[in-house]
Every structure is written in structure tokens, then in C-alpha cells.
Amino acid sequence: MHSPPRARPTGNARQLRPRSIVIWSLVAVVGAVGWSVLALSRGEEVSAAWMVAAALGTYAIGYRFYAKFIQNRVLRADPTRATPAERMGDGHDYHPTDRRVLLGHHFAGISGAGPLVGPVLAAQMGYLPGTIWIIVGVIFAGAVQDMVVLFFSTRRDGKSLGQIAREEIGPVGGVAAVIAIFSIMIIILAVLALVVVNALAESPWGAFSVGMTIPIALFMGIYLRYLRPGKIAEVTLIGVALLLFAIVSGRWVANSGLADAFTLDPRTLVIALVLYGFAASVMPVWLLLVPRDYLSTFMKIGTIALLAVAIVVTLPNLQMEAVTDFATNGDGPVFAGSLFPFVFITIACGALSGFHSLISSGTTPKMIQKETQVRTIGYGAMLMESSVAVMAITAACVLDPGIYFAMNAPPAVIGDTVQAASDTITSWGFTVTPDQLASAAEAVEEESLLSRTGGAPTLALGVAVVLAEIIGGDTMMSFWYHFAIMFEALFILTAIDAGTRVGRFVLQDALASIHPRLGKLRDNTWWPGILLISGIVVALWGYLLWVGVNDPLGGINTLYPIFGISNQLLGAVALAICTVLLVKSGRLKYVWVTLLPLTWVSVVTLTASWQKVFSGDPAVGFLARRDQYQEGIDNDQLLAGAQNMDDMRTIVNTATLDAVLSAALALLVLIVFADALRVCVKAVRHPGSVRLRETPHVPSRIIAPSGLIATKEERAELVSAGLGPGGGIPEQSTGPRQEVSER
């Protein structure tokens, strides 16, 4: 076995100049000061601006140095090698895409409920534990996973993670990985959709505004494909203008006779989301997926940037303690369990998310122009998502803790009236009056904010509180609240449509490998297969979504723990596969890059799995909860959260399902680990027997920058080739497959 040849140096591989050394030293100092203030402050008020400083300083250092080290030294990305988008371009799934558009698509695809919901829920343990995991975790785990998986999938024709596992690990570990990956994906998609349902239910403003993004995206796709090809800036301005109009008009609709038509109950929203997921997964990527993700990215990044600026300008203080008593006693009202391991599975997507590995080995490698863009798109997009998580935990922690707990604790804990909620929360040591709870709901034009679980409403209220300080004051609170609701729903919907498409890829590959007669299912141009497999995927996650919506204890409280566990288990599987590929490709001295985060997330997640299944505390363990409510049924006694015996039986069935799923997924992951270890040992002992399934090197004709902003050398190369800033193939710059530049 020979090590792959080193790629020629790119324009980004330059030594730091004295000016750069000074700049990066200042960046490091800003980040270090931010961390010092957050970690050492006890009792005194702390400005939320220090969270922004700590995050941005750390992100900049990690992207500039660690990500570049991984791309150039560990992966040895080759700019001369043609990617699957160039070699296999079909205009449907494989399509070379401008890196700026693809960054938006990838960011939108990976950014689901995790960076919004997880940090908000974890805020019950204080601002410090969650913030540390979000920032440190993304630098050394989450962004590394996304980038490395994207690279290895690009080297293998954009194959799914499951297919890579089968080919590179073997049939036993590969099959276990495929089953685990697909099962976890279904759980993740169901919980993502559940957050959308909780955010949009009974909200005509939100339902109308979010619904309008679909025709806007379709218009953008047709505009860019046929009417004005290549005019990215032009279509962006039109799309953003229409998006802002949709937000404003949502308020008009909510106050008009059309309000009833857009006031949807949770069950109706389930049906609507299932239909949307099916349609989005079968349409060509250029028609809905890419333009919608690109459009929503502007709103996402714009909102997060605006929130960061507002925090720096208004300097709100963090109201939540650095570390609360719930971090140690494990009886928090939002979710039960101690800081270790539950903070690390509650905050999933903001620090590490297995779901991202499915996007990085699903849609994105089929559209990337150059291997050297994996740092910008893989690592960079994950840093963007982590910044969302930082803003989410910040927004939650600037709220009055009493209001925070009133919004995130279920009715079974705090009751269903403002008086009952006030009495319960005050008994925990967080004072809040019924008038405060009523005033908070009135300020954002909602009937009630009690038990608005799922994190999205809490984040929306935090965003509204901060932004209203600089734009509009109290009169704009309702606008900013519903603006944030739409912002969050867009985040999640873009993950649902991309995730459903990737689920189709995974199931197509899995079924096609069973028998030669099923091989046609892998053909992405065979419509009967596309429609059938997409229907199966949406039916499965739609069923779990329906279970969550009808759960008496609150779907988020029941399903989110299993979401966090399964998501992190998938991350462990992805890192294990990447570790195998590093060993097999002769990069043994760099294997620590994926092995260290793999070890940490495995210990954390398997510990959480064990506790969620076998803990004797009914608030933590699924089996203990099942036994508790089954005993209540046997004694003809209603327990907390249940209004009748049907509710009691539903809780028993859901707890049983959660326990079985958690145990089965953990077992499958352990099988993958064992087989991966076998392959690694064999590769080290007998290097000559190892076979890599990389696609042979084909010279690339595309010329495109590696980073978001082209270097001086890259600009000169584009000019000499007669290409715009997006790049393309010289002398063939007119067709939709060849031209990806902005003319």
C-alpha cells in the first residue's frame, strides 16, 4: 500500500506574514479574554458579549489553522482531481455548483433543530457547560467529522455513508452501519419535524410566512436555471425581497379573515410536513432544494449576525447562573439527568451531529466543484451552525429564568395556568409572577407561552427581547418574535427536505445491494423507484412524528433524548468510518484527528444510552417509566401527565419503543466499532492486503477558487481563463452543467 501523492500547493498554502501574525495574535487574545470572563465570574453580572467574543475568536483560530492543517496535511486534498459533480453531472443529483451557493445549501441542509433546541434546553444547567461544549466540541469534533466525511465521499463518487461502510469495513460492520444509519435518520427527521409542528401550531403568521418560502424558492430555481442563468446576485436580491415581504404579510394575514385558514392544529401540520418532505425529496435539486436552502441561508446568517451585533451594542446581562443546581442533582424540569452525559447529547448539532455526515455524504459531494473546497464547505458551514447554537444559548440565558422555565417545563410539571406555573417555579428558587407570564405572552401576541416546549419559542422570545432593544422597542416585540419563529422553521425545514433525500439514497443503496434484481433501485433516473423509496422514508418518519404529536408527556420531552443519543451515535459511526479510511490510506500518524473525538463521543453517548434504558429513575430511564405507568394501569390509577387510561397506555407504549430503539442502536454501533477495529488492525499489520475503493484520478477541467474569497493567485487564474468569480470550465461557459460562474 502506497500513500497517496501529495497535491500541488494551492494559493492558500502560504506562510504567515508579520502583519498576519499580529492580527491572529489579537484574535487569540480576544477569544482568551472572553473565555476568562465566562469561566472565572461567579455571582457578579456577566455580559452576553463575552460569549460572542469567546466564540468568534475560537472559531477564527480553528478555521485558519486546524482546518487548514487537516485539509493540506491529513487529507491532502487535490485541486487537480475531478469531483463527482464534474465527472458524473446529470443535472438532477450531480451538478457542479458555485461554492458560495453550495455553502448556503450545505449549511441549510445540516442546520436543523439541534443548534436551536439543544442549547436552549441545556440552558437549565447554566450558560457555562453548554457554551464550552458547543465551541470546543465543534473545533475538534463536529467540524472535523463534516469535513472529513465530505472529502472521503467526494473521493468515492458521492456515495452514502452506509455504502462507504459496506465497501471499506466489510459486510458485518457495513450492514450494521447501514441499519443504524437509516434508523437514526428516521428518528432525527421525526424530531426535526416535531419542532416545526410545535413552533407553527395555531400560529397563522408563522404558517403563512413559512409556507410562502416554497413558491419563492421554486421561482428562484426556474429563474436561475432558465430565465437568467448564472445571475446569482440578481436572483438573491429578488429572493430576499420576497422573503421579507412574506414575513411582513404574515402579520396582515394573521389579522385578517384568512387567519383561520392558516391556523393549523398539530395533526394537520404533520400531514402537511409529510407531503412537503415527499415532494422536496423527488424534485431536481436545482428546482427547490438548492434555491430554497440558499435563500434561507441569507435569513439564517443575517439573523444570527444581527443578533450578535445587537448583543454587542446592547450588552445584555446573562440572567441564568453559570452552573445551576440542576447540573449536579439531575432533576431538572426541562430534562432529567446529570450534566455528564446529558449536556453532551442534549446539545447535538451545535457541537457534533451525526446527521451532518449524511448530508456530507449525500447531496453535497455530488455538487462540490473542487476537493479543496471541503474546508470552506465542510468545516466552515459547521462553524456557522455552531455560532447559531451559541446565539441560541445566549438568547435563552438573557431571559428571566422564571419565564425560561415556564416556557420549557411540560404541563405535567408546572400545571396549565399562570398561577400554578408561578407557584411551582418560585418553589425552585426562580421568582416569576402570573402577571409577568401574562405580559410576556401579550407582548408577542400569543395567547400563552406556558409549556411551549421544543426550544423554538424560547429562542424566539430571547431574540425578540434583544433585537427590540435596538429596533422598535416594545412595539416591535411581536414582529421580532414571529420573525424568529420563521427563521427557526426555515432552519428545520431545509434539514427535513435534504435529510429525506439522503434517506432515499441510503435506502436505495441498501435495497439494491440485497439482490441483483433490485439493482435498478439505485438508478436515480428511474422514477418508480424514486417515488416508492421516498414514500417509504416519509411514511416512517411521519409515523414517529405522529407518535410525538400525540404523546401525553409532550413529544419533545419524550423523543428529544432519543434524538440526542441516536444523533451522537451516528456521529460516532461516521468518525469510526473516517478513522478506518485514514488508517487504510496510510495516514496512521494523523489518525488521532478522528480517533480522539470518536473516543469521547462514544463514551458519552453509550453512557447516556445505558442510563436512558436501565436507570431506575422513571424521569430518566425508559424501562422504569414504562413499569411505573404500567403499575398505574394495573391499579386503575392515573399518574402525572395522563388524563385517561388511553394516555397511560400511550406512555407505556412510547417508553417501551424508546427503550428498544436505544438499546438496539447502541448494539449496532458496538458491532460497527468491533468490525472497524478489526479492519484497522489488519491494515496496520498487513498493509499490502488493504484495498481502498477510491475512484481513480481523473484530471479536472473546472477552474474555481478553494475558499469563499478567491486569493490573488486564484483571481489571476480565473481572469486568464475568461471566467467569473464562480469559476467553471474554460471555453465552455454557456450550459447549465459547465457554467457555474456569476456573469
Q: What is the pTM of this model?
A: 0.85
CA distances, 257 to each of 6, 199, 212, 253, 658 (Å): 66, 22, 18, 7, 42
Tell me what pLDDT residue 602 has: 96
Q: How confident is the model at residue 615 (pLDDT cuts 50, 70, 90)?
A: very high
Average pLDDT over residues 619-647: 90
pLDDT at 381: 93
Q: Which three cell numbers stand for residue 594?
A: 478522528
490 exposed, middle or buried (CB, 10 Å; 0-12, 13-18, 19+)?
A: buried
Q: Averaged over 481-500, what is the pLDDT?
A: 75
- How far apart are alpha carbons 487 and 80 in whole angstroms? 39
Q: What's the pLDDT at 200?
A: 80
> Residue 100: its pLDDT value, please?
86
pLDDT > 70? residue 741 = no
pLDDT greater than 90 at residue 683: yes
The model's pLDDT over 326-352, given as tens digits with 9 standing for 90+, comes to: 988 888 888 888 899 999 998 978 899
The angle subtended at Cα 375 by Cα 369 and Cα 377, nearest 5°, is: 60
User: How many CA atoms lie within 13 Å of 173's alpha carbon, on the beta-carbon side?
Assistant: 22
Q: Which residue has the higher pLDDT, 13 or 501?
A: 501
- Cα 540 to its chain centre, rounded Å, is 20
51 contacts: CB under 8 Å, gap ≥ 6: 34, 38, 127, 131, 311, 318, 390, 393, 394
316-325, 561-570, 642-651, 719-728 — most confident range: 316-325
pLDDT at position 14 is: 54
Q: Which residue has the cell 435498478?
A: 520
The better pLDDT of the pair 507, 577 is held by: 577
- pLDDT band at 405, cuts 50/70/90? very high
| Predicted local confidence at residue 77, as pLDDT | 95
Q: What is the mean pLDDT of residues 406-414?
A: 85
Please write the tens of the pLDDT for every residue from 575-600: 999 999 999 998 999 999 999 999 99
Rounded CA separation 127/662 (Å): 28
Give 640 or 603, the one with higher predicted confidence.
603
What does the pLDDT read at residue 11? 43
Residue 213: per-residue pLDDT: 80
Amino acid residing at 16: L
Identify the residue with better confidence: 129 or 724.
129
Take residue 669 and report the three cell numbers written for it.
Answer: 454501533
pLDDT at 309 over 50: yes
DSSP string, 332-392: -SSS-S-HHHHHHHHS-TTT--HHHHHHHTTTGGGT-S-GGGHIIIIIHHHHHHHHHHHHH
Q: For position 151, what pLDDT does the model report?
A: 97
pLDDT at 17: 79
> What is the model's pLDDT at position 15?
64
Give me the mean pLDDT over the 652-669 stretch.
90
Q: What is the mean pLDDT of residues 615-630?
A: 92
Q: What integer pLDDT is reported at residue 370 of this predicted model?
A: 95
Q: In the prediction, which pLDDT does 557 show?
A: 65
Domains and CATH numbers, the chain: 23-38+45-87+97-202+264-685 (1.20.1740.10)
In the predicted structure, residue 60 carries a pLDDT above the cut 90: yes
Which cell is 731 given?
471555453
In degrees, to the nearest 5, what angle opens at C-alpha 694 toward C-alphas 688 and 699?
A: 120
What is the per-residue pLDDT for 8? 46
Tell me how far apart the alpha carbons of residues 604 and 592 are, in angstroms, rounded to a whole number: 18
247 vs 169: which has the higher pLDDT: 169
- Rounded mean pLDDT of 229-245? 79
In the chain, what percentage of residues exceed pLDDT 70? 93
Whether residue 223 is predicted with pLDDT greater than 90 in this model: the reply is: no
pLDDT tens digits along 433-479: 999 999 998 888 877 888 877 677 888 899 899 999 888 888 888 88
pLDDT band at 4 (very low <50, low <70, confident <90, very high): very low
Regarding predicted confidence, which is higher, 90 or 269?
269
For residue 7, the model assigns a pLDDT of 46
Ramachandran area for residue 692 (φ above 0: left; ψ -120 to 50: alpha; else beta): beta
Task: Give residue-wise pLDDT tens across range 528-575.
Answer: 888 898 899 999 999 888 888 887 776 666 777 888 888 899 999 999
The larger pLDDT score, comparing residue 77 to residue 6, is at 77
Mean pLDDT for the stretch of residues 128-144: 96
For residue 743, pLDDT over 90 is answered with no
**What's the pLDDT at 293?**
67
CA 304 to chain centre: 15
Tens of pLDDT, residue by residue over 341-399, are 999 998 978 899 988 998 898 789 999 999 999 999 999 999 999 998 998 899 999 99
Alpha-carbon distances, residue 319 vs 124, 402, 459, 601, 604 (angstroms):
11, 10, 14, 30, 29
Specify the residue for cell string 481523473. 698
Q: Which of 8, 598, 101 is nearest to 354 (CA)?
A: 598
Q: Read out DSSP for 486-555?
A: HHHHHHHHHHHHHHHHHHHHHHHHHHHTT-GGGGGGG-TT-HHHHHHHHHHHHHHHHHHHHHHHT-TT-H
Contact criterion met (CB below 8 Å) for 595 and 625: no
Structure confidence at residue 94 (pLDDT) = 87
> If you average pLDDT over every residue of the chain, what do you get?
86
Q: What is the mean pLDDT of residues 156-180?
A: 88
Q: How confident is the model at residue 221 (pLDDT cuts 50, 70, 90)?
A: confident
